Chain A
Amino acid sequence: MMIEKIRKILKDHGRLNKDPWALDEAADLYQAGMTSHASVNVMLALEGEFEIEFPDHLLKRSVFESMGAMRDTIAGLTKGS
């Protein structure tokens, strides 16, 4: 399940001050301690895990602000592949 994989990546790369399994999908990850540099590592790990490449217009703070936002973006990128 995609959210489960995203939680695992957040645990390894997100430098959150909370357990990713204790956060709901809409929780603001920046509020949960994710720094800008940590969000870059999350982005790279998502690309590896889901074999995608985020196009430049999606390399934005808002795309990575919650697990739900990441899931929707990744779903959009993998649709039809």
Chain B
Amino acid sequence: MEYELESFYKGLVDHGLIVPVRVQGAFGRGAVFEDVLEHFNALVTHISKDDAAEVYTFPPVIDRTIIERTDYLDSFPHLAGTVFSFFGKDKQAKELSAKVHAGEAWGDTQGMSDVCLNPAACYPVYPVIAGTLPPNGRTITMTNWVYRHEPSPEPTRMQSFREREFVRAGTPDMVVAWRDQWLQRGLELLTSLGLPAKSDVASDPFFGRAGKMLADGQKQQKLKFEVLVPVISLEKPTAVCSFNYHQEHFGHVFGIRTADDQVAHTACLGFGLERVVMALFKTHGFDPKSWPQAVRSRLWP
């Protein structure tokens, strides 16, 4: 199989799977693309049904103080998106209008609002589970739209996409065992769909020189794993699922305590839903009707 960015993007567009828009990384999704995505997400729900995870849905905007308190702006200033809105009166509205219609920059007419775009599906969960956890901890799942400021011609690198996430909060032993179980489960799920998936230790795309240290620390401590599938490159496969062990980070910031009153540990895992769908199209072709029967019956049981 050949891996090539432009022909893959063209294939997605030509088959109506994605709908280009003027800016990069913000394309629309066609009906067939969405059908595959929804059925994959339903399959994730199916294989995890015995976990009895609590289900939440959050909007694409979250409390801005969450990214301020969790060091997100220290680690990923380049990826964050904060919502700025108009707070003026008539006079300022006229100035805004004049600037827009004159093609001038109008950013200075806006002020920072209380919300930011959600950078990862699990972020709004941590303040919600503040306080003392039940003896077995908590497991939560959600599908949320997330934002990353990284416009790119590469279809797998989007500014806005959906993550199906699971979060586990509890003692270190509980959290690590859960993460390891899901790493295996995630690999099995993806290989059962005919995807050549492999797992590897990974690091987040931290910003700048400080980021080099943070990434090295994350790798040395094996805090992040990814499941990778070749989509646009065989040598640099695409992460379709990632597992992050945060240790005490969120427990400390938001006051999440275990039943025996220790700072709770947390971990999360997320399937990048659009990326899984693209991996399926790359591996099995652009028409799901021609996919192997074993894959079809798994997604459309």
Residues of A within 8 A of B220 (CB): 60-62
Taking CB atoms and an 8 Å cut-off, the chain B residues in 197-242 that contact chain A are 209-210, 212-214, 216-218, 220-221
A40's contact among B214, B218, B221, by CB below 8 Å, is which? B214
Residues of B within 8 A of A73 (CB): none
Chain B 53-97 interface mask (CB, 8 Å, partner A; 1/0): 000000000000000000100110000000000000000000000
Interchain nearest-CB distance for B155 vs A (Å): 30
Which size class do A's interface residues fall under?
A: 10 to 19
Q: Does A51 make an interface contact (CB < 8 A)?
A: no
Interchain nearest-CB distance for A54 vs B (Å): 8
In the complex, how many residues of chain B place their beta carbon closer than 8 angstroms to a beta carbon of chain A? 13
Q: In the complex the two chains form, what is the Cα distance from A39 to B217 in whole Å? A: 10
Q: Does A78 make an interface contact (CB < 8 A)?
A: no
**B217 adjacent to A61 (CB under 8 Å):** yes
**B217 adjacent to A56 (CB under 8 Å):** no
Chain A 16-51 interface mask (CB, 8 Å, partner B; 1/0): 000000000000000000001101100110000000
Q: Does A52 make an interface contact (CB < 8 A)?
A: no
Residues of B within 8 A of A61 (CB): 213, 216-217, 220-221
**A36 adjacent to B212 (CB under 8 Å):** no
Residues of B within 8 A of A54 (CB): 209
Residues of B within 8 A of A64 (CB): 213
**B216 adjacent to A60 (CB under 8 Å):** yes
A56's contact among B74, B75, B212, B214, by CB below 8 Å, is which? B212
**B212 adjacent to A37 (CB under 8 Å):** no
Q: Does A3 make an interface contact (CB < 8 A)?
A: no
Q: Does A59 make an interface contact (CB < 8 A)?
A: yes
**B216 adjacent to A59 (CB under 8 Å):** yes
Q: In the complex the two chains form, what is the Cα distance from A81 to B198 in whole Å? A: 48
Interchain nearest-CB distance for B205 vs A (Å): 15
Interchain nearest-CB distance for A63 vs B (Å): 8
13 A/B residue pairs, CB under 8 Å, sorted by A: A36-B217, A36-B218, A37-B214, A39-B213, A40-B74, A43-B210, A56-B212, A59-B209, A59-B213, A60-B216, A61-B220, A61-B221, A64-B213
Q: In the complex the two chains form, what is the Cα distance from A64 to B210 in whole Å? A: 13
Residues of A within 8 A of B218 (CB): 36
